[in-house]
Amino acid sequence: MKKIIWVFIAISVSFMLTSCNSDAKKESSKQGEDPILIKGHAFGLDSIGTFYRYRKAENVGTFKTGPIIVEIEAAETVQGRITTEFRTSDDTIYNPMELVNVHIRFKLNKEVNDNISFNNEKHLHLKTNTGDMIKQPDQFMSSVLNISTLKNTQETGMDSHLRQFTFLLKKTTAKELKNATLLIDAPVNRSGDSLGKDLEIEIDFHTDNS
């Protein structure tokens, strides 16, 4: 009789563990499907509209191109709308929005002169696994980046600033996007000669949307 009871207990425990694992898998699969409302965003995204995050990748990596060190702290897939008072004349591209925000620190690893060209308008691009090829970050929602600002940070001994670069998606949604490639063109001199290697940085958006 005791043996039967122990067998029954073992079967019950096994069933409970299987059930818990199944529930955990279901919960994991929901992550990234149900977005969370963004509050207290590092770059004030929630202050200009209502936005929801689907996925976030953190600590993507540190890279080097010429005299510039690139540290990608995070990237996120976001959907939302800018409130009326913050819209530009061409508000059709902002309402609603599907976008990728990339948070990056740039710093110089040696002294440079003003003959170098490197900026957010010409040197940053994003390619997605769904066919989007975005030539530059949105200027309204992105930080300014150029050699002068990097030199000033270096000369004053300040820590490198975290900057946000926003890429507007055209062919896909934030919900659908799972992978992207950040393309960073190497800095060039006045003759157009490359001073480093072009970077292709893979970003895998995992299921954690916190």
Read off the CATH number of the domain in which 117 is found: 2.60.40
Number of domains in the chain: 1
For residue 151, being part of any structural domain is answered with yes
Number of H helices, E strands in the chain: 2, 9
Which residue segment(s) compose the domain that 124 sits in? Answer: 31-204
For residue 193, being part of any structural domain is answered with yes
pLDDT confidence band for 115 (50 / 70 / 90):
confident
For residue 122, being part of any structural domain is answered with yes
pLDDT confidence band for 89 (50 / 70 / 90):
low
Q: Which residue has the tokens 């540190």?
A: 62
What average pLDDT score do residues 40-67 get?
94
For residue 16, being part of any structural domain is answered with no
Helix (H) / strand (E) containing 205: none
What average pLDDT score do residues 21-44 get?
68
Which residues, 6 or more positions from 48, have their beta carbon under 8 angstroms from its beta carbon?
82, 83, 86
For residue 183, being part of any structural domain is answered with yes
Q: Where are the alpha helices (DSSP H) in the chain?
A: 2-30, 147-156
pLDDT at 112: 87
> Is 120 a residue whose pLDDT tops 90?
yes
For residue 48, being part of any structural domain is answered with yes
For residue 195, being part of any structural domain is answered with yes
For residue 9, being part of any structural domain is answered with no
Phi-psi region of 203 (alpha: psi -120 to 50; beta: other; left: phi over 0): beta
